Chains A and B, each alone.
Chain A
Amino acid sequence: MSPDLPTQRVHTRIWLEEPEPDNDFATRAAFCAGYDVYGQMLGRTRWAEMLYLLLRGEAPTWAQADLLEALSVALANPGPRDPAVHAAMGAGVGGSTPASALVAALAVGAGQSTGAREVWASMGMFASCGTSPGAWEKALSRPEPTPAGVWPQPTAGDHPAGFEAHGTRTGGIVLRTLDVLASMSPSHCLPWLRDNRESIERVAGRPVSMAGVAAAAFTDLGFTPDEGEMLHLLLRLPGAAAHALEQREVGHKNFPFFALDLQDDPRGAA
């Protein structure tokens, strides 16, 4: 094997691999941001700590790891009514590949309404408004226009990021999640949201959503909006996986197929 380094290389601050002496394609030891993953971390490190380390490049404090772990439990299963899980179940009933079930959940769960892009947008509001009621009032009453791109343009009547599109009051599971996470937060956004929820809901005209709570939690953990978006995609996959596997067993004959009202049937009204 040539001792010369390849000219085409992957540049990373995250991961170092040391090869076995006789095979540069086999890993003897791997280090994440300097920490020996298989020598020191494995067996002593929690999943939430590893997630935090991968994205932030530093070990979390114990309080940060606790908060991320609690948030992971809250997000793990949006439930079969959630559009992302609904999509994954469609893969299950059809006998599609397991990966396609998660791809379906990711595609649907990526969106600006209840999905990871909503969390990204909500984190942007926490970043710009912080805990200033005046800034929130201004941002909620005059949303910034977004340039044309792959994400749909907001339309009049759209719900602001972090709030329920169709809610009338804050959901019980949202309230409970906000209370628990705010009590664990090492920072400001979650406690502020808990203490000012009702006033901010009045300004928004809608109740706070789970996406809004997740956005506050990711912000308190020091994640960027891009990191929060990615984590939201990732952390909601367990429920999608479980429901897809379950529906594969339940079968398509027992899965809703629903009805259409075709408006332009060439044979006339159905």
Chain B
Amino acid sequence: MKGPDLLVQNTDRMATRVGQAFVGTRAVFRGHDLHADLRHMDWLELYVFGITGRRFSEPQVRLLHAMWVCTSYPDARLWNNRVAALSASTRSTPALGISAALAISEATIYGGHPFVSSIDFLIRARQRVDAGEALREVVAQALSAGRIYGYGRPIAAIDERLPWLTGIAQQLGLADGPHHGIALEVEALLVARDPKLRMNYAALMSALCADLGFTPAQMHHFQVPVFLAGMSPCFVEAAERAPGTVFPLSCAHIDYHGPAKRDWPTPISKASRERP
């Protein structure tokens, strides 16, 4: 269907399978009564059920929890956390500060893009390896088209989160999936080219999520609040400080290297509309 007919067909009503609030009586969440059936559900389990429509086992939910816990850094210097802290410092609101901090976490050199790109690469790599291609070739092709996200880190080459999350995955019996195996092999191939290209958190989390059956789109949603627990403390503490005292910038903090001072080119006359 093309043109406005598709819009006409969808005015005022929308078919849905995800749920509905029957305000005053009940709520439905993906085919279940939220209160009668799901009220005891772990919040994160409910979150991934909402994203995927699938139920996860107790060990799987514990692993998903650990993914968020191990990267919750209440460090106000980090760019996303700094947004939360600056919001508090200007006496803005928590919702504005935290939602903006989450929004900027959908970044290129950390957060959203590496997570999505990494799981997409690992899923495709596994499919190609299963079809008989050598992983070395898959990696070489990916490198020729650009970089492979999930390896290397902007501030430090070592990612201190990996042994902790890997340990939890091993304890839970969830560390031996095929995507995690591929991710480790890719690391070995990349480190042989450049020692700085160690696996980072995006690749590990993406590999473990791929082994739980996440698609790239599902991974994209799952990782949105991954840094959230570190943001709120930054906001809370900044709100306790005097206004404007979170990393204030003086004039001397501005390193200007643009054009020298010059006169604004006022038009010779308005009628001419030309500048001198």
Binding site for B on A (CB under 8 A): 5-6, 8-19, 24-25, 27, 31, 33-36, 40-41, 44-45, 57, 59, 61-63, 66, 97, 99-100, 103, 107, 147-150, 166-168, 256, 258-266
16 CB-based A-B contacts, threshold 8 Å: A5-B252, A17-B251, A19-B251, A27-B251, A34-B260, A35-B262, A36-B264, A62-B273, A99-B92, A148-B116, A148-B120, A150-B220, A167-B3, A258-B12, A261-B13, A266-B31
B: interface residue count bin? 35 or more
B153 CB to nearest chain A CB (Å): 19
Greatest chain A CB density within 10 A among B19, B251, B273 is at B251
Report whether B250 and A6 are in contact in the complex, using a CB–CB cutoff of 8 Å: yes
Q: Pick the contact of B116 from A36, A99, A150 — CB < 8 Å?
A: A150
A166 to B275 CA separation, bound complex (whole angstroms) = 44
Q: Pick the contact of B252 from A6, A33, A36 — CB < 8 Å?
A: A6
Report whether B116 and A149 are in contact in the complex, using a CB–CB cutoff of 8 Å: yes
Report whether B255 and A9 are in contact in the complex, using a CB–CB cutoff of 8 Å: yes
Any A CB within 8 A of the CB of B70? no
Binding site for A on B (CB under 8 A): 2-4, 6-7, 12-17, 19-20, 28, 30-33, 37, 92-93, 95-96, 99-100, 103, 106, 112-113, 116-117, 120-121, 145-146, 216, 220, 248-267, 273-275
A259 to B145 CA separation, bound complex (whole angstroms) = 47
Contacts of B253 in A (CB 8 A): 6, 8-10
Report whether B255 and A44 are in contact in the complex, using a CB–CB cutoff of 8 Å: no
A139 to B12 CA separation, bound complex (whole angstroms) = 36
A36 to B263 CA separation, bound complex (whole angstroms) = 7
A265 to B31 CA separation, bound complex (whole angstroms) = 6
Report whether A261 and B12 are in contact in the complex, using a CB–CB cutoff of 8 Å: no
A120 to B259 CA separation, bound complex (whole angstroms) = 28
Report whether A103 and B99 are in contact in the complex, using a CB–CB cutoff of 8 Å: yes
Contacts of A62 in B (CB 8 A): 267, 273-275
Report whether A149 and B117 are in contact in the complex, using a CB–CB cutoff of 8 Å: yes
Contacts A24-B252, A261-B14; A63 near B273 (Cβ below 8 A) = yes
Contacts A12-B254, A17-B251, A36-B264; A260 near B275 (Cβ below 8 A) = no
Q: Pick the contact of B117 from A16, A44, A147 — CB < 8 Å?
A: A147
Report whether A149 and B264 are in contact in the complex, using a CB–CB cutoff of 8 Å: no
Give the nearest-CB partner of A149 in chain B: B113
Give the nearest-CB partner of B250 in chain A: A24
A66 to B267 CA separation, bound complex (whole angstroms) = 13
Report whether B251 and A25 are in contact in the complex, using a CB–CB cutoff of 8 Å: yes
A62 to B275 CA separation, bound complex (whole angstroms) = 7
A107 to B113 CA separation, bound complex (whole angstroms) = 17
A9 to B252 CA separation, bound complex (whole angstroms) = 8
A258 CB to nearest chain B CB (Å): 6
Report whether A34 and B254 are in contact in the complex, using a CB–CB cutoff of 8 Å: no
Contacts of A35 in B (CB 8 A): 261-264
Give the nearest-CB partner of A26 in chain B: B251
Contacts A97-B96, A103-B100, A149-B116; A14 near B258 (Cβ below 8 A) = yes
A15 to B255 CA separation, bound complex (whole angstroms) = 9
Give the nearest-CB partner of A42 in chain B: B264
Q: Pick the contact of A150 from B4, B100, B113, B275 — CB < 8 Å?
A: B113
Contacts A25-B250, A62-B273; A262 near B28 (Cβ below 8 A) = yes
A262 CB to nearest chain B CB (Å): 5
Q: Pick the contact of A25 from B248, B258, B263 — CB < 8 Å?
A: B248
